[in-house]
Amino acid sequence: MPIKENLLHIKSQLPEPVTLVAVSKTKPVSDLMEAYQAGQRIFGENKIQEMTEKWEQMPKDIQWHMIGHVQSNKVKYMAEYVNLIHGVDSLKLLQEINKQAAKHNRVIDCLLQMYIAEEESKFGLDASELSEILNSAEFKAMQNIKVIGLMGMATFTDNQIQIKKEFQNLKSIFDTSQTPTTNNYQPSTLSMGMSGDYKLAIECGSTMVRIGSSIFGGR
Ligand SMILES: *Cc1c(COP(=O)(O)O)cnc(C)c1O
C-alpha cells in the first residue's frame, strides 16, 4: 500500500486532539519524504544515530521524536534538534538531557515512560518512582527540560482486555499526576498506542499515537 494513502487513511480516523507520530525507524529517507509530501511533519525514530542522519538529510520543518530507549552518553547527538523524547525513565537521564539542552540554549520536551506491561523486556517507571522524580529537588531545579506528559507501551498480546486494562491504568496515573504543575512539569500529553492498538488507546484517553507499520509497511 502506498505510504500516502496509508497516512491519509489513519489521519482520517484520528480525533482532532490526537497527534500522529509517524514511526519511520529502519525506513529509508525516500519513504519518509513520501510521508512528508503528504503533509506529515512529526517523525519518530528509536535510534539516535539513525534519527540524526535523517535529520541532516531532510527538510528542517520536521519535528523529530525519539521514541526508543535512550542511553545517557548519546543524548548529546540529538540535543541540538530533538523535539520530544518519549522514553525518559530516570532522573539521571533527565539530568543529562537538561545538561545537553543547556549547551544549546534549549528547553527539551520530555515524556516520562511508565511501566504498564506485563513484560520484563519493557522499560519504565512505576507510580511511586514517578512521584519521587517529580518531587525531587533535583528535578525542580532543572531549567532546560520540560516534562509534558507520560508515555507507555502495552503488553504485546492479542488480548484486548489486558491491553485496555494497561491503557486505563496509564490514563489514571496521568490523571492523578496533573498537579502540582511547575515550570518544568506541564502534563498535557499522553503518548500511547501503536499500529495494533491505537484505536483502543484513543478510547482510553491517548493524545498522541506512534504508528509505524500501518503507514510504512512491515519492518
Ligand atoms: C516501533 C515502535 C512503534 C511503532 O510500532 P508499529 O507497530 O510499527 O506501529 C511505536 N512505539 C515505539 C516505542 C516503537 O518502538
What is the per-residue pLDDT for 118? Answer: 85
What is the per-residue pLDDT for 121? Answer: 67
What is the per-residue pLDDT for 123? Answer: 84
- The rounded Å distance from CA 196 to ligand 1 centre is 9
pLDDT tens for 109-128 read 999 999 998 877 678 999 99
- Probe residue for ligand 1, chosen from 1, 23, 119 as the CB with the greatest number of ligand atoms within 8 Å: 23
Q: Beta-carbon neighbour count of residue 38 at 10 Å?
A: 17
pLDDT tens for 30-81 read 999 999 999 999 999 999 999 999 999 999 999 999 999 999 999 999 999 9
Q: What DSSP line would sit under 91-147, residue for residue? A: HHHHHHHHHHHHHTT--EEEEEEE--SS-TT---B-HHHHHHHHTSHHHHH--SEEE
Strand partners, 45: 66
C-alpha 85, offset from chain centre: 6
Highest mean pLDDT range out of 153-157, 180-184, 207-211? 207-211
What is the per-residue pLDDT for 139? Answer: 96
Q: Is the CB of 67 under 6 A from ligand 1?
A: yes
- Probe residue for ligand 1, chosen from 9, 192, 194, 198 as the CB with the greatest number of ligand atoms within 8 Å: 194
Distance CA 52, CA 174 (A): 30
pLDDT tens for 89-111 read 999 999 999 999 999 999 999 99
pLDDT tens for 158-205 read 999 999 999 999 999 999 998 788 899 999 999 999 999 999 999 999
Q: Per-residue pLDDT for 24 more than 90?
A: yes
Enter the DSSP assignment of 55. H
What is the per-residue pLDDT for 180? Answer: 81
CA nearest ligand 1 atom 6, residue: 212
Q: Per-residue pLDDT for 4 more than 90?
A: yes
Q: Is the CB of 72 under 6 A from ligand 1?
A: no
Q: Per-residue pLDDT for 86 more than 90?
A: yes
Q: Is the CB of 46 under 6 A from ligand 1?
A: yes
pTM: 0.96
- The rounded Å distance from CA 123 to ligand 1 centre is 14
What is the per-residue pLDDT for 1? Answer: 67
199: left (phi over 0), alpha (psi -120 to 50) or beta: alpha
